[in-house]
A and B are shown apart, each in its own frame.
Chain A
Amino acid sequence: MKRNNKDVESAHRKLTRRAILLGGLQLAFAGGLAMRMRYLQVDQADQFRLLAEENRINIRLIPPARGQIYDRNGMVLAQNAQSYRITIVPEDAGDVDEVIDSLSQLMPLDPEDIERAKAEMRRSPPFLPITLADQISWDDISKVAVNAPALPGITPEVGLTRVYPQLEDFAHVVGYVGPVSDYDLSKLTDPEPVLRIPRFQIGKVGFEAKVESGLRGKAGAKRVEVNATGRVMRELDRREGEAGADMQLTVDAELQSYTQARMGSESASTVVMDCETGDIHAITSSPSFDPNLFVRGISVADYRMLTDDKYRPLANKSVQGTYPPGSTFKMITALAALEEGLVGPEETVWCPGHMEVSGRRFHCWKRAGHGHVDLNTSLKSSCDVYYYDLAIKVGMDKISAMAQRFGLGVRHDLPMSAVARGLAPNRAWKSETYGQDWLVGDTVNASIGQGYMLASPLQLAVMTARLASGRALEPRLLKSIDGIEQPSTGGAEIDVSAANLNTIRKGMFSVSNERRGTGYGSRIIADGMRMAGKSGTSQVRNITAAERAAGVIRNEDLPWERRDHALFVAYAPYDNPKYAVSVVVEHGGGGSKAAAPIARDVLLQALYGGTPPLDAYPTKDRDRIKTQQERLEQERLKRKRPNDSSQA
């Protein structure tokens, strides 16, 4: 084909033009790309750099070490111990089922745990460790460690968990911790992020729960670099958290342990308070339980055993339980009357064994009556009629006011769970609560600590300490935080006449040290250690006329839950009060029989700072006391043993 030269020339010129045009467009587009690159990489570089950092950097919380709890002498009550768990990384394990199989031949595995772990594996990326078994023994951990080459992907790991080396002795005081529950979170409006760490423990009950914020500490954080799938590549830096504060209680672990053992299998409570500072040296509730069970997660069977027990081991009777104080209240009634100047200590009342008040007959515990009774005798023999007479003269409002000045019906602010307020009733209270007028019969009942009167063992100890010292002592449980001594509150002189107070104290001395005193059987004979006390027996039932006609049934013949509560309050030494003690034995029968010996033994233990010499006891009791001391020592040793091995 022959082509026209002119056509070829013009076609070539056209191509050149268009090639240059297209080339220009390409250059312009490339220029646009360069501009865009500049915009992203120079103008917006900072913003994108930030986004890249956000991508790659994750913040991980480091749980803080919980503060430890000590007794007044530095003995450990709650500490953090290493706990062992076994984790599996599915990616490294290869055949997960096979590895779990061979692991279960080495150590027992809970099928429920395995199911849960497998469900977790399906949800999370294969490189994340998943817990197979928690809280395992050292033996099992060592077995797994030795066989590690045969168990790919299995790692024994160490964490921290709470341990209570004193076992039952402090369950009600210190309480226990447990993993954060959904319920715990729902109670907080803005929960700290640390609470969302799996298996993080917080205080659930008792001191642990009450001072949670102080014990918890501040979480640390580490910054880690992660890749797109979330795998941690390396740690960039870390900011250590702040460990929780170490707390020291005023409680003396030795005394606490002795007291707990001394109460034995009774459903009882004992509180020992310092008459100078208000420090609580022992505060026990029996029976108790091992708080470590709750840390691990208590089994249903164990829990049911605790809740079904009619002695209610989970209840903290020392602050939570309130009882009619019975005759231990008589000091308050007497003091109210003395302060009003309505009676003198020498004035006597005739006790025929009962008293008629507005058509109703109120009995004295001694049916035959006490005859002529003055104040000292009324305390010593615990004559009821004397107080009926006194109370009618003084009136309830005066008695109630006096009770409150001595710490009854007033809530004492202790860092423990469910501290009860008790009740010191007056006229206004009854009309507010029941819409009824206060009756003289109510006054008569209240005068001997029955009726509406309610007090906790703690309140009775406070009352006794205030009577002994004449000062408005407040109980103190928290001694120091991180070594910084916490102030005692209260302690101002109570505005009552010293002479009247001495009259009451003398009466209490007579109770414990004079023949025919209700506490005479449980006296201290060591010089300078003598105690002053008061027994109480509070009814939990009404004695019907028919019963009375048939002769009052003895406590021993009644079913346990209908027997009287036994109470005893005391302080010692009489001339220089050091400790006040209150003992309540639920349905224990008579105060002088069931409660007074415990009060005496505990006081002696406190006064001597250990096992007291036998010559502090009345001669005829010494053999029995010696046997008892040996038995208690053995029991306490037996209880200590499992705890020692767990610490090793």
Chain B
Amino acid sequence: MSYLANNAQSVPTGFRKILYLNWPLTLLLISVACVGFLMLYSVAGGSFSPWAELQMERFVLGLVVMLVVAMTPIWFWRNVSALAYLGAFALLIGVEFFGEENMGAQRWIDLGFMRLQPSELMKITMVMLLAAFYDWLPPEKTSRPQWVIFPVVLILLPTFLVLQQPDLGTSILLMAAGGAVMFLAGVHWGYFAAVIGSVVGLIFSVFQSRGTDWQLLKDYQFRRIDTFLDPSQDPLGAGYHITQSKIALGSGGWSGRGFMQGTQSQLNFLPEKHTDFIFTTLAEEFGFIGGFTLLFIYMLIIIFCVVSALATKDRFSSLVTLGIAITFFLFFAVNMSMVMGLAPVVGVPLPMVSYGGSVMLVLMGAFGLVQSANIHRPR
């Protein structure tokens, strides 16, 4: 541990750490959360209950969590990452047995004061463990097959469990985030090319097989894909949500219909308007300007993370910061693609804006890690 010991001397200590917080990042997170409060207030028909009020409480709690995590040295988090991963994995298994059903999927564990979604916790602990793994692994071994299989197992195990719940959105996010960390750690291009190539090939052959003797999917599965590709085929059934969502977005126009004036959301044409589809309300009421501004803030957060990650020489800090940035990006990119009709409706919330405690707390904890890496950067 001499490497760490040498560097520890130039790291701020005690309350001086507060000064080294990444303040712009903190302010960006607060502003995103405020957009969330505003929209939750609007979709409740101009009321703090039932959503905005609770969301504010959770955000305050999230800020505390972020500060606590940030003040704790980053090497502590590296050392407990395996433990954290195992803990989250245990909870994920627990959800199989003790989980509460909600909307047909087992996702929750009731902790008394709040309902926890272990799959959200899993996203971050998995990124932590992968970062710690590549910090430990000598760089020259990174692309050797036996050292590639281990992180792939670390990714696929929780992915499989989440898929069981079933939660397609989260499993995609887990795989994509894990793959991104492996890519950043320097795993050879060939592995990614092979995986992407075979996925593309599989999709191609599935579509080619349609109508032939060796058809790979059932007819009804093909029809679902059709509905996704062209929701107008089934405007009152499967395509209803996405059609209404696009109408809401589109009718917002350049500057929106005004706060609390969105007819699509205020008259309940929008599905899940306080959770997964909250972006449509924003886009309807504040228009392109509102939607673009949120996207811009999100990208600033990503940029601040990347800059912060590249500024440190500590491999764990870099990888965990970039991994969290990617996870965060995947959240909003998938959510926005979904509500704009570019991706299937897979159930991914808009981070820090959608109503939901687990995602909020887990993400604030994750940004705590980013802050910690920044504070405890060897200077």
Contact = CB atoms under 8 A, between A and B. Distances in A.
Interface of A: 1, 3, 7-8, 10-12, 14-16, 18-20, 22-23, 26-27, 29-30, 33-34, 36-38, 40-42, 44-45, 47-49, 51-53, 55-56, 225-229, 233
Given A15-B184, A49-B251, A233 B322 contact: no
B256 to A, nearest CB: 9
A578 B283 CA distance: 82
B247 A15 contact: no
Given A15-B315, A48-B249, A227-B268, A7 B139 contact: yes
Contact of A41 (B183, B250, B329): B250
Given A19-B306, A55-B244, 7 more contacts: A16-B310, A23-B302, A23-B303, A33-B342, A48-B246, A55-B247, A56-B263
A52 B253 contact: no
Nearest to A233: B267
B375 interface: no
A33 B186 contact: no
Given A40-B246, A56-B269, A233-B267, A15 B186 contact: yes
Contacts of B319: 15
A14 B251 contact: no
25 contacts: A3-B3, A3-B138, A11-B315, A15-B185, A15-B186, A19-B184, A19-B310, A22-B326, A23-B302, A23-B303, A26-B333, A29-B333, A36-B340, A40-B250, A40-B340, A41-B252, A41-B254, A48-B250, A48-B251, A49-B250, A55-B244, A56-B263, A56-B267, A226-B267, A229-B268
Contact of B250 (A8, A51, A229): A51
Interface in B164-219: 180, 183-186
B299 A27 contact: yes
Secondary structure of the A side of the interface? helix
B267 A228 contact: yes
Interface string B279-321: 0000100011001100100110011001001100101001100
B337 interface: yes
Given A15-B315, A23-B302, A40 B249 contact: yes
Contact of B288 (A22, A37, A227): A37
Contact of A12 (B246, B253, B313, B336): B313
Nearest to A21: B183
B155 to A, nearest CB: 17
B215 to A, nearest CB: 32
B338 to A, nearest CB: 11
Contacts of B251: 45, 48-49, 51-52
Nearest to B266: A227
Interface string B329-361: 100010011001010000000000000000000
B237 to A, nearest CB: 15
B288 A41 contact: yes
Nearest to B287: A41
A473 B192 CA distance: 102
Contacts of B283: 37, 41
Nearest to A23: B306
A12 B319 CA distance: 10
A22 B322 contact: yes
Nearest to A49: B251
B333 A52 contact: no
A56 B264 CA distance: 8
A6 to B, nearest CB: 10
Contacts of A51: 247, 250-251
Given A7-B140, A10-B139, A41-B283, A33 B302 contact: no
Contacts of A225: 263, 267
A332 B138 CA distance: 130
A19 B320 CA distance: 12
Contacts, number: 137
B29 to A, nearest CB: 18
A12 B292 CA distance: 34
A420 B264 CA distance: 61
B299 A45 contact: no
B318 A52 contact: no
B253 A49 contact: yes
Contacts of A45: 250-254
B183 A30 contact: no
B68 to A, nearest CB: 27
Nearest to A48: B250
A41 B249 contact: yes
A178 B177 CA distance: 71
A10 B140 CA distance: 10
A233 B263 CA distance: 11
B315 A12 contact: yes
A23 B302 CA distance: 8
A286 to B, nearest CB: 59
Contacts of A1: 138
B248 interface: yes
Given A29-B333, A51-B247, A37 B295 contact: yes
A15 B253 contact: no
Contacts of A227: 267-269
A42 B292 CA distance: 12
A425 B140 CA distance: 121
A55 B263 contact: yes
Given A34-B292, A52-B263, A228 B253 contact: no
Contacts of B244: 55
Given A19-B309, A23-B306, A55-B264, A30 B186 contact: no
A53 B246 CA distance: 14
A130 B254 CA distance: 43
B245 to A, nearest CB: 10
Contacts of B186: 11, 14-15, 18
Contacts of B288: 37-38, 41-42
Contacts of B138: 1, 3, 7
A22 B247 contact: no
List the 8 closest A-B pairs by CB distance, nearest first: A48-B250, A11-B139, A52-B251, A227-B267, A45-B253, A228-B268, A41-B288, A49-B251
Contact of B183 (A3, A22, A52): A22
A26 B329 CA distance: 8
Contact of A44 (B250, B306, B329): B250
- With most chain B CB atoms within 10 A of its CB, the pick from A26, A29, A51 is A26
A10 B186 CA distance: 10
Contacts of B252: 41, 45
B268 A30 contact: no
B298 A42 contact: no
A229 to B, nearest CB: 7
Contact of B299 (A30, A40, A53): A30
Nearest to A29: B333
Nearest to A32: B342
A597 to B, nearest CB: 74
Contacts of A11: 139, 142, 186, 315
Contact of B247 (A3, A20, A48): A48
Nearest to B284: A52
B276 to A, nearest CB: 16
Contacts of A10: 139
A333 B44 CA distance: 91
Contacts of A18: 183-184, 186
Contacts of A55: 244, 247, 263-264, 267, 269
B321 to A, nearest CB: 9
Interface in B222-250: 244, 246-250
B202 to A, nearest CB: 22
B1 to A, nearest CB: 10
Contact of A47 (B185, B250, B264, B329): B250
A11 B143 CA distance: 12
Contacts of A38: 288
Given A36-B340, A228-B268, A229-B268, A41 B291 contact: yes
Nearest to B302: A26
B16 to A, nearest CB: 27
A44 B267 CA distance: 22
Contacts of A26: 299, 302, 326, 329, 333
